[in-house]
Amino acid sequence: MTNFTDTQLDEITNVLKALAHDVRLKLMRTLLENGEKSVGELETMTGVGQPGLSQQLAILRKADLVQTRREAKLVFYSLAPDNLESTAKLLCALAGVSARDMQSETRSARPRAGGSAATFAKII
């Protein structure tokens, strides 16, 4: 069983708050499935228009869930998976899935979006 400090739980709470929005979760899924994308590509792929898209991306950036790269006038977004590690461990523990089970499962199959905490942890 993994023990979490109060500080770690505060950080996990902030991650979960950032993910607890349909548009932000949709953006995370899009980046997971498609890799790094520009703001324009994300707008086209998700159907989320400006300025809402910029606002939601800013929240994900502030929570350190995505990272950016600038190329000329374009800004590209990608996932920052290391910042989701503690959250994934907690969700796995809550779902009764061990880290070892998650590692072997992630190697054998591509993660898919689904409906359980264990499935959510797989996408992170």
What mean pLDDT comes out for the span 53-63?
96
Helix (H) or strand (E) holding 84: none
Measured CA to CA, the distance from residue 91 to residue 17 in angstroms comes to: 14
What topology does CATH give the domain 6-80?
Arc Repressor Mutant, subunit A (1.10.10)
pLDDT at 108: 55
| Residues 70-85: tens digit of each pLDDT | 999 999 999 998 888 8
Identify the band that residue 115 occupies on the pLDDT scale cut at 50, 70 and 90: very low
Domain ranges of the chain: 6-80, 83-123
What are the respective helix, strand and coil percentages of the chain, to the nearest 5?
Answer: 65, 10, 25
| Residues 90-101: tens digit of each pLDDT | 999 889 887 667
Q: How many Å is the Cα radius of gyration of the chain?
A: 15
What mean pLDDT comes out for the span 34-45?
96
pLDDT at 103: 62
pLDDT at 116: 46
DSSP letters spanning 12-28: HHHHHHHH-SHHHHHHH
Percent of the chain with pLDDT over 90: 60
